[in-house]
Structure 1
Amino acid sequence: MIWTIILLIQAAILYCILTHRKRYKTDPPLDKGIIPWLGHALEFGKDAFKFLARMKKKHGDIFTVRVAGRYVTVLLDPFSYDLVLTDRDSLDFSQYATVLMDRIFQLKLPHHMQNQSKVIMKKHFLGMNLIGLNTSIGRHLHNLMKAELSVNQKDWKEEGLFNFSYSLLFKAGYLTLFGEQNNNVTDPSKIYKEYRTFDGLLTKLARGTLKPEEKKLSQSVRQRLCALLSPVGGGEEDSGAGSWVHSYRRMLQDEGVDHDTQNKALLMQLWASQGNAGPAAFWLLGFLLTNPDAMTAVKKEFRGISQTSETCLFNVKTPVFDSALEETLRLTAAPFITREVVREKTIHMSDGQEYRLRKGDRLCLFPLLSPQMDPDVHSEPQIFKHDRFLNQDGSPKTDFYKRGRMLKYYTMPWGAGVNGCVGRQLAIHSIRLFVYMVLTKYDIELCDRNAHMPDVNTSRYGFGVLQPEGELQSSHKDWRCAQWCSGGGTLESRCDTALQGLNWRLLLRAERRLLDHCPPHAPGLTPATETCLPASALLATC
């Protein structure tokens, strides 16, 4: 027993000697933490934003930390980001991506297939093919939302806003990219349920911190999802010959990838394509519902395009909505941009300092912290301002400065450089169309009018758009001007009832719904709180 203890002590001492790291003058500030090997891993994984903000305050815009045996250099100077994003000789993207593919999806693919996959995506997600995808997702959203609430439904339906947003956008995206095109007739609700279970385990899968029972659950749900994603007939159909998913699967087959691995690759693409739009739409709707001025501005813009075909909405300019969406992503898009240092490299900082990146280290950019939440770039960065990205004349604002210098990167929700998000335009259109439909087809409000936005799930930092810790309860129902006036008596009789009961909330709601539904050229309505016009007069204004 004594010899075992001695051997363990000697092994620990030898390990410390071999892994000891000394900072040289040209190295970034080094912070190893107090726990051998583990370093700052626990704090990093628990709340990366809080930890990195503390390190930034302590060390500045560049520093190296020890995380579970690895040395990670964090760069937070946005003026230096191009040095990282454009360097494909000293910095490698694929190594860490390969590690995550294996941990999360148990998927191993040749490195060169990442570039082939990107070529296929550019072919199908840009240009004329994008128009077809936009039309398809519009049709599916329309059908899903029509089924969500029947036209004649009068009662309010209460639901968590996150689940409401995530489920509808996920199902529409799945049917567009995997359902129709993959010859797969699986109920999208079943896919969504399994996917949410898998998504809930994703950060632990990536970090390798699953408990034994969670590991079993992840394996079983991964297998079920792969089976559900497998096309009818084993994937040999030609009905989707022009589709992205068919081209992607054909590429895998040409590389000799077996059927099970193909399904794992499709699961990875499902997460990559559907994991962010729903959460982003939730945050945007939540911010609008808790900021009346922002809601009014977006609804006013939408009323101006109320006669536009929903499937053609991508051709319409919506600068107010675009600003609100960009502001939402500024607050909630939190990916890590990670590179492996494969060759020693010098980083030139905006303050004139130079630092050496060591081969074998990992380099990480965290745009949420800088520039997105940098008060030197965005005033009051913690506050949602729907017009932050608008100039005074209503045009899009793209000029942002830090210390008097114009920034190229003032937000980075879609990444940048050669590894930027190829599906960006489809995602933006999907979110815009979803929010447009919700605000023009639904009557939606918070169950608690004094509710605040929920806190973020801090374990999701580094994995795209953040998710909430808990729900924001909302209630919604289908409504139209004619339904409001015909259901449950005339509007005139409702006004009388409301006046007798001093139900000012009902009166204000009636006025608001009519104003929102009427096009901008409609004559003004007399405020419902002052007088109740006959129903025929109100209808005449629509």
Structure 2
Amino acid sequence: MFDNLVAEGYSLAQRDWRLTAVVTSLLPFVLTYLITSLRAFLAANNKGDSRSAPIAPYAVPFFGNLISFLYDNERAIRNALGRHAGDIPVRFRLANRKLTLISGTANVLAMFRGSRYLDSTEIIIITVDNAFGGAMAGNESYVRDDTGSRKEPLPGSRPLKMSDRIWYLQHKTVHTNLVGPPLVEIADRFVQYMGEELDRAIPASETDWVDVPDFYGLIQSTMFAASTNAIYGPHLIGLNPDINNDFWEYDHHVPTLFKLVPRLFAPKAYAVRDRLLAAIKKWQTHARANLDFNDPALEGVTWEEFYGSKMMRDRAVDFTGVTGMNDDVRPTFDLGLLWAANANIVPTVGWCLIDILMRPTLAATARAEIAALSPGEINMQALLTSPLLQSIYAEELRLRNAILIQRTPIVDTFKIGPWKFPKGDMIMASSWQEARNRETWNQRGRNGEEHDVEEFWAERFLVYKDDPLSGPRLVDAAKVKSGEEAEKAERAEGGEAAPPKFAPEKVAGQFIPYGGGENICPGRFYAKQEAMAGMALFLAKFEIELQLEPGRVLVPNKNQFGFGVMGPVGEIKARMRRRKVE
């Protein structure tokens, strides 16, 4: 029978040359897929203690997984992980680059703990080059710095002067200025400016309901203005009145720019980036003309109007000393900081408010919590103690965040468990996938109700002393004492249950919105204070009613997958009214 089929196929091919041409043209792709699938199977079943990660099978020679990754990276990652057990890494080939995706608590924590053998400079250079316009401005000043971000240069790196080590200088300046008094200054100013922005949007004298055609757009514009004025001072926006709208248009185009879509096919993306770079360049020129940042009188000054925060002034000093860092390159770095300061926290606060307002009981509880902790003016330190508000914030970071954390081994011997990772090939972890591991995350409420990992649950990160099964991590009920016994043992004085505890540490390695290790996000403390203040100010100042169309379900914009917290798709109508008691 098989011989007959072969003979018939051969006869058909002879009669129709077109079929032969099609089969011949498809053969390289079929063979490539079969070969890579076989290699993946063999690698996944290798029992050695120094294994190479299995490759994600692909059909297109040389390009590998590049096309599927560019088209839908979330699906590509999900499919790759679904082929193997959760702790088996998967290697992607993206044309001339290779990267390995890791997953699972143990693997992710091992990557963070191995920070001394890893570097993040490569992905930063790619981002500055592609998304922020560094390659077009001239990237020699930072591409030649291969010394890393630590104080001690990486072994085998170029012998650069300290003043030319831009990655170390940037790392040091940002980390030292987003803690202590400089952080307090920025956060206090954000609270002040955010209140002023909201009062301008809907004045206290306005007592009637006000229709808001785009509630999330209001959050974007007010938070961007408040945070930018707090960090950069008033003149960046003052000199460039359109920068608020331009920024959010640019944010929409960041994935396009990062993927290096040619200007011919994405003129709007490049045009808005050009406008932002010109705006920042104008602000930098204005600041230099009005303030000598080397003036000894500025020692200890945490904020002034021209550079704004001490962080921006220190960055200006650092960048001036870098060989080749000219007036066209400097704006690309400050555009990067502007994007980092807004692109994640604003959609996070947006989702916090949206999910609170869609649940009237939660909204009432949150308002009562805010009123008790922060009556009158915002008391940031008190708000930061709220288990509920912190849990809401963390839950949005879990549910809406899709950052791809990337590190590059700087040694030939880096391993995670039995898996070896070649020097120079990127390692990647996906916050989105780790946040959806049903074998790790708790989905059971205090009353036995289910809260799927794909759903918002305000109390997911709360641990109750009278409920040993509570908290973000899934607990084996067979290994704990009964809830009734625990409740009796953990009652507080007066017979009332002890208050819950916010416990993100229970899911270390699975909850990774800030990355981890030496290169953990330095802005996480400021971002959390922005979130607390943003929620508190909106909920304390206004009654807010979302007006969603019947049947509409709000979903994150997955076009931004891989770039952090994804905002909601589409405009959200609402109406707002000043609260009588603030």
1:3 is aligned to none
1:225 is aligned to 276
The partner residue of 1:377 within 440, 446, 452 is 440
TM-score of the two chains, using structure 2 as the length reference:
0.72
Structure 1 residue 321: deviation in Å? Answer: 0.7
Q: Measure the CA separation in 2 of the matches of 1:321 and 1:206.
A: 34
Structure 1 residue 429: deviation in Å? Answer: 1.0
Are the equivalent residues in 1 in contact too, given 2:402–2:566 (CA < 8 A)? yes
1:314 is aligned to 381
Structure 1 residue 211: deviation in Å? Answer: 5.8
Q: Measure the CA separation in 1 of the matches of 2:349 and 2:506.
A: 30
Q: Aligned in 2, Cα 1:366/1:146: closer, same or farther, shift over 3 Å?
A: same
The partner residue of 1:199 within 247, 251, 254 is 251
Residue range with higher mean Cα deviation, 150-159 or 273-282: 150-159
Q: Deviations over 1:487-508 (max 9, x none)?
A: xxxxxxxxxxxxxxxxxxxxxx
How large is the RMSD of aligned CA atoms in angstroms? 3.0
Q: Deviations over 1:106-143 (max 9, x none)?
A: 22323531221121122221012211111111111111
Are the equivalent residues in 2 in contact too, given 1:166–1:277 (CA < 8 A)? no
User: Which amino acid letter does the alignment assign opposite residue 218 of structure 2?
Assistant: F
Q: Aligned in 2, Cα 1:296/1:451: closer, same or farther, shift over 3 Å?
A: farther
Q: Deviations over 1:334-373 (max 9, x none)?
A: 1111122443345444xxxx22223343211112211x11
1:289 is aligned to 357
Structure 1 residue 376: deviation in Å? Answer: 1.4
The partner residue of 1:361 within 413, 425, 431 is 425
Q: Measure the CA separation in 1 of the matches of 2:233 and 2:275.
A: 16
Whether 1:400 and 2:452 are equivalent positions in the alignment is: no
Structure 1 residue 406: deviation in Å? Answer: 6.4
Structure 1 residue 374: deviation in Å? Answer: 1.0
2:490 is aligned to none
Whether 1:209 and 2:261 are equivalent positions in the alignment is: yes
Are the equivalent residues in 1 in contact too, given 2:263–2:270 (CA < 8 A)? no
Structure 1 residue 453: deviation in Å? Answer: 4.3
User: Which amino acid letter does the alignment assign opposite residue 253 of structure 1?
Assistant: T
Identity of aligned residues (%): 17
2:579 is aligned to 479
User: Which amino acid letter does the alignment assign opposite residue 117 of structure 1?
Assistant: Q
Q: Aligned in 2, Cα 1:228/1:128: closer, same or farther, shift over 3 Å?
A: same
The secondary structure found in structure 1 opposite 2:462 is coil
Q: Aligned in 2, Cα 1:280/1:451: closer, same or farther, shift over 3 Å?
A: farther
Q: Aligned in 2, Cα 1:69/1:456: closer, same or farther, shift over 3 Å?
A: farther
Structure 1 residue 277: deviation in Å? Answer: 1.3
Q: Aligned in 2, Cα 1:434/1:340: closer, same or farther, shift over 3 Å?
A: same
2:314 is aligned to 247
Structure 1 residue 307: deviation in Å? Answer: 1.9
Q: Deviations over 1:368-400 (max 9, x none)?
A: 211x11111222201111011112259998773
Q: Measure the CA separation in 2 of the matches of 1:188 and 1:173.
A: 15
Structure 1 residue 466: deviation in Å? Answer: 1.2
Q: Aligned in 2, Cα 1:119/1:451: closer, same or farther, shift over 3 Å?
A: farther
Are the equivalent residues in 2 in contact too, given 1:157–1:477 (CA < 8 A)? no
The partner residue of 2:198 within 130, 134, 145 is 145
Question: 1:479-518 maps to which residues of 2 (within 5 A)?
Answer: 479-481=579-581
The secondary structure found in structure 2 opposite 1:212 is helix
Q: Aligned in 2, Cα 1:444/1:343: closer, same or farther, shift over 3 Å?
A: same
The secondary structure found in structure 2 opposite 1:260 is coil
Structure 1 residue 279: deviation in Å? Answer: 0.7
Structure 2: runs of 5+ lacking an equivalent: 1-23, 147-164, 302-309, 444-451, 480-504
Structure 1: runs of 5+ lacking an equivalent: 1-8, 482-516, 518-542
Q: Measure the CA separation in 2 of the matches of 1:376 and 1:142.
A: 42
Q: Aligned in 2, Cα 1:276/1:238: closer, same or farther, shift over 3 Å?
A: same
Q: Measure the CA separation in 2 of the matches of 1:193 and 1:409.
A: 36
Q: Deviations over 1:198-218 (max 9, x none)?
A: 11111011112346141x333
1:298 is aligned to 366
The secondary structure found in structure 2 opposite 1:384 is coil
Whether 1:92 and 2:119 are equivalent positions in the alignment is: yes
The partner residue of 2:290 within 237, 246, 261 is 237
Q: Aligned in 2, Cα 1:198/1:433: closer, same or farther, shift over 3 Å?
A: same
Q: Aligned in 2, Cα 1:41/1:342: closer, same or farther, shift over 3 Å?
A: same
Structure 1 residue 169: deviation in Å? Answer: 0.9
User: Which amino acid letter does the alignment assign opposite residue 217 of structure 1?
Assistant: K
Q: Deviations over 1:220-247 (max 9, x none)?
A: 3223212222325362433774421111
Whether 1:186 and 2:238 are equivalent positions in the alignment is: yes
